[in-house]
Amino acid sequence: MKVLVIGAGGREHALAWRCAASARVQEVLVAPGNAGTALEPKCRNVPVGAEDIPALVDLARREGVQLTIVGPEGPLVAGVVDAFEAAGLACFGPRRQAARLEGSKAFTKDFLERHGIPTARSRTFTREDYDPSWLERQPLPLVIKASGLAAGKGVIIAETLEEARAAVGEMFAGRFGHAGEQVVVEEFLRGEEVSFIVMADGAHVLPLATSQDHKRRDDGDRGPNTGGMGAYSPAPRVTPELHARIMREVIEPTIAGLAADGTPYTGFLYAGLMVAEDGTPNVLEFNCRLGDPETQPVLSRLRSDLAVLCEAALAGRLDTVSAQWDLRAALGVVLAARGYPDTVRKGDRIEGLEQAAALAAGRGKVFHAGTRLEGGRVLTDGGRVLCAVGLGESVSTAAETAYALVGAIHWPDMQYRRDIGHRAIARERRG
Ligand code: AMP
Ligand code: GLY
């Protein structure tokens, strides 16, 4: 069969690579892909943008694609799955109505409250019904969120009332475009942040291996928030007890609630949670897709056929399959261009990829994100450029391998964190 992967990041390189590993898959098209997917055996980049839904439908029809997997949230929230379905094409991901779980925080807060799923107390305002006096009566800090998609930048933690007022004001003034037309103001929660990723088929759920990312740019979890500077799997802090609670109190009622509301959820679902001291898993956010970079270590451990799992989900048969995982741990270190998460320079030549690939044989892989191929050379082409994943008997040994791969790679001003996995590694050292 022929598979199409939509997107251009590290997550999509990992998705394409896993699909290409299936004996049943002849070819994987990637739209638009990166240098990594261009060089990957059995994969072929197609110059169609991830947001160009009519062109993606045309491509899938023309090429006889039997399964499409959508990487990023943009096309999902814009209705790519609905468009494929209308054309009679199989596409794994949530339809537009279900993708509102990521596309509209206002929708999600209302959904969570209606279905009794734990989350921070909140109110949603539009410019018309905004009530500044309500803000004054709330305890600080307050969390101010632009409701729509804001590339991970639309959340402001306000320590003072002035900051809170200013944040709401900026959102209504258009700082995040349409995303800020509705503003969610919510209580600040304390606890441990945990992410949890599953596959769903509208009714059943298959949890993926646990994982944890590092969102801050600099060592010691300092510096600006990013899409993620590294991730590892498994995440030891997700104990079997916590796993069971998240499934029972968050994932199952979410899938059941969406089905009951007439908008069943099929696709990957990513829950960002704040686990309170008493163990309550409060939902901070949902993403209607896999995490990036979590996908790179998670799929590095997947032993089952990803295309088969996606097909089972599209047939509503996820309850009849299981996923097998490599018992080793996997850890990925993101190599970013200088300046990330702000504006970065592009077009630097990346050295050492062959040496890294030789070192990685059987125990890791370097995934591409912001890269492009020019005259046979791999050049930087984005903020997050590569993700070097190592496998090992423990998170510590996986980290040693990952950093050995990092050591082989070079371009001017590349930056990366030296402490990915530090909490899990400290936990391992404590035994
Ligand atoms: P979100 O995009 O909603 O996940 O928010 C981005 C980040 O802001 C999260 O990963 C948390 O670190 C933080 N955050 C969001 N909501 C809250 C909250 N209610 N309390 C504390 N921190 C929060
Ligand atoms: N790494 C977090 C995300 O993909 O949103």
Tell me: the pLDDT tens digits for 68-106? Answer: 999 999 999 999 999 999 999 999 999 999 999 999 999
Q: Where are the alpha helices (DSSP H) in 206-320?
A: 240-246, 252-260, 295-301, 306-314
CA dihedral 400, 387, 356, 371 (to 10 degrees): -160
Q: Is the pTM of this model over 0.85?
A: yes
Closest C-alpha among 215, 231, 167, 176 to residue 14: 231
Cα–Cα distance, 85 to 118 (Å, whole number): 33
Residue pLDDT, tens place only, 263-315: 999 999 999 999 999 999 999 999 999 999 999 999 999 999 999 999 999 99
Closest ligand (CA of 197): 2
Closest ligand (CA of 191): 1
Q: If you take atom 6 of ligand 1, which residue's CA is the nearest one?
A: 155
Q: What are phi and psi of 21, to 5 degrees?
A: -75, -15
The sign of the CA dihedral 417, 419, 422, 424 is positive
Atom of ligand 2 nearest to the CA of 215: 1
pLDDT at 102: 95
pLDDT at 177: 84
Summary mean pLDDT of the chain: 96
Site residues for ligand 1, CB cut-off 6 Å: 120, 143, 145, 155, 186, 188-189, 193, 272, 274, 284-285
- Band of residue 153 on the pLDDT scale cut at 50, 70, 90: confident
Cα–Cα distance, 124 to 168 (Å, whole number): 11
pLDDT at 210: 95
The C-alpha angle 317, 293, 288, rounded to 5 degrees, equals 45
Site residues for ligand 2, CB cut-off 6 Å: 213, 227-228, 287, 291-292, 294
Domains within the chain, CATH numbers bracketed: 2-78 (3.40.50.20), 121-187 (3.30.1490.20), 192-430 (3.30.470.20)
H or E element in which residue 77 lies: helix 73-77
Res 55 pLDDT > 90: yes
DSSP 10-65: HHHHHHHHHHHT-TT-SEEEEEE--HHHHHSTTEEE----TT-HHHHHHHHHHHT-
Q: If you take atom 2 of ligand 2, which residue's CA is the nearest one?
A: 291
Cα–Cα distance, 47 to 428 (Å, whole number): 45
Candidate from 22-36, 108-122, 162-176 with smallest mean pLDDT: 162-176
Closest C-alpha among 362, 372, 349 to residue 401: 362
Closest ligand (CA of 214): 2
